[in-house]
């Protein structure tokens, strides 16, 4: 098949869902990509070029995006969608489709919907990824700043109407988890949605036998993403001090690109390191003893958690970001004391830590492969195009 991916960002090891779908699909199909990127992102498209037949990256300045979002304040259009609107993207997709016949168009994220030209002929699969309405409602509840609270609430209200209406437009929609599907269907029970979760590349993410620091805790994730920033600030403020009282040489390493000033400020605390962008996060995971995913706002699948498990790390997480029951290596703790107690227990029990880490890696290798997820995707492509596998 000829498959066209349309995205509001560049597929990469940061944007792992489209990256790995394209990587897997390229073994059997011709995959083309048209995507948007802000002017600060450079070099992110190099690795995806190995798998895509062709990739067209349309740059859009953040200034233009913020201006469009500002102008949309008094309209029904959510700010995130207005931010990405681009005639250049629409023209690029139109030009691509005039010069190539595609069996299916894979449209990822609500922010990309405005890119599609009118009267598109090829069947479209819409990947909503996560329920954005739920995400912004959670953020509105947890924000303390009144302006931020109101801004997120208004965005959630707009999305409450925009998101289900958009999903209804497409014959086929996929999303990352059953929880996200239930949230969307609670807005409109007639929506038809299939679940395809995220996987993990267990050959890329695997232990390399580096020296482990026995009392090092790691968090990895894109730090410009507000829920990630919220999580590490909460952990550093409420949990880490309890751990330091019991384990004086405990370390907390925060690995991820574009940390906010509030996250950078955490590095002033003894034992906390904020790396910013790193070329390869695997050494940081391999050298740590415990990973944390202390999310207080969460939607969809926590990719960071799957990567941690693939690296053989036990993970301490909150209920909202837990992958469910009976997943080896995952320890759920919601209060600061529970989380600190669990981490200290893992520090003290080397056997438990190693056994749980090894079992976690075997679990994700068997249950969470990208090839299995891509097979499900191809089945849906087949139903959509009439070329059932």
Contacts of 164 (CB under 8 A, 6+ apart): 184, 187, 188, 191
Closest CA to 133 of 107, 165, 178, 108: 165
Residue 94 shares a structural domain with residue 169: yes
For residue 389, what pLDDT is reported?
Answer: 55
Residue 31 shares a structural domain with residue 90: yes
Residue 316 shares a structural domain with residue 170: no
Residue 237 in domain: yes
Residue 112 shares a structural domain with residue 259: no
Residue 288 shares a structural domain with residue 193: no
Residue 242 in domain: yes
Closest CA to 191 of 134, 135, 126: 126
If phi > 0 it is left, if psi is from -120 to 50 it is alpha, else beta; for residue 300 that is left
Q: What is the CATH number of the domain that holds 360?
A: 3.40.50.2000
pLDDT tens digits for the chain (389 residues)? 999 999 999 998 888 899 999 999 999 999 999 999 875 555 566 788 999 999 999 999 999 999 999 999 999 999 999 999 999 999 999 999 988 999 999 999 999 999 998 888 899 999 999 999 999 999 898 888 899 899 999 999 999 999 999 999 998 999 998 889 999 999 999 999 999 999 998 999 999 989 999 999 999 998 988 899 999 999 999 999 999 999 999 999 999 989 999 999 999 999 999 999 898 999 999 999 999 999 998 776 788 999 999 999 999 999 988 877 678 999 999 999 999 999 999 999 999 999 999 999 999 998 888 999 999 999 999 999 887 65
Residues in the chain: 389
Residue 52 shares a structural domain with residue 123: yes
CA 62 – CA 64 distance, rounded (Å) = 5
Residue 324: Cβ-neighbour burial (10 angstroms; 0-12, 13-18, 19+): exposed
Number of domains in the chain: 2
Residue 329 in domain: yes
Residue 205 in domain: no
Residue 39 shares a structural domain with residue 179: yes
Residue 356 in domain: yes
For residue 46, what pLDDT is reported?
Answer: 79
For residue 347, the enclosing domain spans 216-367
Residues 287 and 210 sit within 8 Å (Cβ to Cβ): yes
Residue 270 in domain: yes
For residue 45, what pLDDT is reported?
Answer: 66
Residue 9 shares a structural domain with residue 130: yes
Residue 360 in domain: yes
Residue 168 shares a structural domain with residue 20: yes
CA 79 – CA 281 distance, rounded (Å) = 32
Residues 210 and 203 sit within 8 Å (Cβ to Cβ): no
DSSP state for residue 60 in the 8-state scheme: E
Residue 80 shares a structural domain with residue 183: yes
Residue 326 shares a structural domain with residue 379: no
Residue 297 in domain: yes
CA 290 – CA 228 distance, rounded (Å) = 17
Residues 35 and 5 sit within 8 Å (Cβ to Cβ): yes
Residue 224 shares a structural domain with residue 326: yes
Residue where the block lists tokens 């600190």:
340
């Amino acid at each position: 098949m000829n498959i066209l991916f349309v995205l509001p960002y560049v597929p990469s090891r940061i944007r792992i869902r489209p990256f790995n779908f394209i990587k897997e699909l390229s073994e059997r199909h011709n995959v083309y990509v048209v995507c948007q990127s802000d002017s600060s992102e450079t070099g992110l498209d190099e690795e995806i070029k190995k798998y895509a037949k062709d990739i067209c990256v349309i740059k859009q300045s953040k200034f233009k995006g913020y201006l469009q979002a500002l102008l949309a304040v008094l309209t029904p259009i959510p700010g995130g969608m207005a931010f990405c609107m681009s005639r250049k993207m629409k023209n690029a997709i139109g030009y691509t489709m005039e010069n190539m016949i595609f069996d299916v168009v894979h449209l990822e994220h609500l922010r990309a919907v405005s890119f599609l030209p009118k009267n598109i002929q090829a069947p479209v699969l819409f990947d909503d990824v996560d329920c954005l309405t739920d995400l912004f409602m959670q953020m509105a509840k947890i924000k303390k700043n009144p302006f931020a609270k109101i801004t997120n609430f208004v965005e959630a209200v707009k999305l409450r109407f925009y998101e289900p209406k958009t999903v209804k437009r497409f014959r086929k929609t996929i999303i990352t988890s059953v929880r996200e599907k239930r949230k969307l269907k609670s807005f409109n029970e007639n929506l038809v949605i299939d679940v395809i979760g995220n996987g993990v590349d267990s050959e890329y993410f695997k232990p390399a036998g580096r020296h482990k620091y026995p009392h090092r805790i790691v968090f990895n994730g894109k730090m410009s993403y507000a829920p990630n920033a919220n999580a590490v600030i909460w952990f550093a403020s409420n949990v880490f001090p309890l751990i330091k009282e019991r384990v004086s040489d405990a370390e907390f390493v925060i690995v991820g690109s574009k940390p906010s000033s509030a996250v950078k400020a955490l590095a002033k605390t003894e034992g906390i390191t904020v790396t910013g962008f790193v070329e390869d996060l695997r050494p940081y995971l391999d050298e740590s003893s415990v990973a944390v995913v202390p999310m207080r706002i969460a939607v969809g699948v926590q990719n960071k958690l799957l990567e941690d498990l693939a690296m053989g790390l036990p993970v301490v997480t909150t209920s909202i970001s837990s992958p469910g029951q009976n997943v080896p290596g995952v320890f759920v703790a919601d209060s600061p004391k529970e989380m600190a107690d669990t981490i200290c227990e893992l520090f003290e029990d080397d056997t438990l830590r190693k056994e749980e880490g090894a079992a976690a890696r075997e679990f994700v290798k068997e249950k969470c492969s990208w090839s299995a997820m891509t097979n499900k995707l191809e089945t849906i492509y087949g139903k959509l195009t009439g070329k059932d596998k």
